[in-house]
Amino acid sequence: MSSTLQEIADCVIAGRFDEIKPLVESALSNGVDPQAIIDAGLRSGMQVVGQKFKANELFIPEVLIAARAMKAGTEAIKRHVVTDYTDSLGTVVIGTVKGDLHDIGKNLVAMMLEGAGFQVIDLGTDASPEAFVEAARENDAEIVAMSALLTTTMPKMAETVHALSSADLDRPVRTMVGGAPVSQGFATEIGADAYAPEAASAVEAARSLVAGLSRPRGDGPPCCPQRASARRLRQDSEKGRGR
Ligand code: B12
């Protein structure tokens, strides 16, 4: 890793939020790729924080200070990745699900989606299934994207997918899930239309979802085989319960 990226990672680890902005700005003006700053600088620093937190070497106050540094670094990059598009690729409602206050990853995904030309409505953290449904309705959204970092809040994703499919919305809404404990298998199980492990692939997934939306809804577009497979899972479990 270059020494600048290592310095950015170190700022996150040590929570030096006042130093991170000038560092990121100088890296950008020296031509360092914003994606490399995010991956090898900011995220890599937060990964170390995560390991230290798990090993009880760092505690919540230090993690919060690291999160503040990460946020300052992300803000400094934002204007380099967010472009003003006249034609939006579509509207994405994004939020961290009910009971979960982690927003660093969600903010990165929101920023990358905005940068790619999506209109992003950010519900913040602790967003209830009803809040996702209402925001999707009010904004005529194509995609609802959910983030969860706690295994205990992952079930809220399933509830939100269910609430969206039961709501009488004017247009089909696709769902996308992510966050450290979330996997493709979990996305399939709950009937979400897409999963992505990080922000750049979230943009690719969102593009495929809106491309799929121009097709008739039917059994789900080709980009969303999970929907059919989730339906099968539900049917199997209903049969198993004798319904
Ligand atoms: C920072 C942090 C905090 C901060 C959050 C600050 C903030 N503003 O977000 C604070 C201190 C508040 C916190 C609190 C807690 N935390 Co915490 N936290 C973390 C930590 C260290 C880093 C998370 C992070 O920001 N990672 C960096 C980002 C960039 O990565 P990411 O979130 O995974 O996002 C990427 C992908 O997942 C993906 N992605 C994310 N969202 C989405 C959404 C979509 C749609 C898509 C497609 C992709 C996608 O793209 C992102 C960018 O690449 C993790 C450890 C870890 N290794 O994850 C623990 C961790 C998540 N926390 C944990 C715990 C237990 C807690 C607390 C319960 C602690 C406590 N005792 O109070 C509380 C819960 C509070 C709550 N109700 O939410 C556990 C969870 C364990 C579990 N199995 O559930 C972890 C794993 C730590 C651990 N090893 O024990 N935490």
Query: Average pLDDT over the chain, rounded to whole?
Result: 87
- pLDDT, residue 228, reads 40
Report how far ligand 1's centroid is from the alpha carbon of 149 (Å).
4
Report how far ligand 1's centroid is from the alpha carbon of 152 (Å).
12
190 Cβ inside 6 Å of ligand 1: no
The backbone torsions φ and ψ at residue 214, rounded to the nearest 5 degrees and listed phi first, read: -75, -10
Report how far ligand 1's centroid is from the alpha carbon of 228 (Å).
30
Nearest Cα residue to 133 out of 95, 158, 110, 167: 167
Q: What gap in Å lies between CA 121 and CA 119, rounded to an integer?
A: 7
Global confidence as pTM: 0.87
CA of 231: how far to CAs of 36, 125, 190, 236, in Å? 39, 29, 9, 9
Of the given ranges (13-22, 77-86, 122-131, 216-225), which has the lowest mean pLDDT? Answer: 216-225
Alpha helices in 82-215 (DSSP H): 104-116, 129-139, 154-166, 184-190, 199-213
- pLDDT, residue 232, reads 39
- Quick check: 237 pLDDT over 80? no
Q: Which is more confidently placed, 57 or 236?
A: 57
Pocket test for ligand 1, best of 12, 65, 149 (most atoms within 8 A of CB): 149
Pocket test for ligand 1, best of 102, 108, 114, 125 (most atoms within 8 A of CB): 102
Q: What is the mean pLDDT of residues 85-101?
A: 92
Q: Under DSSP, is residue 178 helix (H, G, I), strand (E, B) or coil?
A: strand
181 Cβ inside 6 Å of ligand 1: yes
Report how far ligand 1's centroid is from the alpha carbon of 168 (Å).
33
Q: Are 129 and 98 in contact (CB under 8 A)?
A: yes
Of the given ranges (73-82, 114-123, 181-190, 217-226), which has the lowest mean pLDDT? Answer: 217-226
- pLDDT, residue 16, reads 95
51 Cβ inside 6 Å of ligand 1: no
- Quick check: 10 pLDDT over 50? yes
176 Cβ inside 6 Å of ligand 1: yes
pLDDT-derived band of residue 212, with 50, 70 and 90 as boundaries? confident
Q: What is the mean pLDDT of residues 199-212?
A: 94
227 Cβ inside 6 Å of ligand 1: no
- pLDDT, residue 146, reads 98
- Quick check: 176 pLDDT over 80? yes
- pLDDT, residue 224, reads 40
Q: What is the mean pLDDT of residues 5-22?
A: 95
- Quick check: 181 pLDDT over 60? yes
| Tokens of residue 68, six digits | 């503040």
Of the given ranges (153-167, 192-206, 227-241), which has the lowest mean pLDDT? Answer: 227-241
Of the given ranges (73-87, 176-190, 206-220), which has the lowest mean pLDDT? Answer: 206-220
- pLDDT, residue 1, reads 60
Q: What gap in Å lies between CA 191 and CA 187, rounded to an integer?
A: 6
Beta bridge partners of 174: 143
Report helix angle 129-139 to 154-166, nearest 10: 40
Q: What is the mean pLDDT of residues 24-51?
A: 94
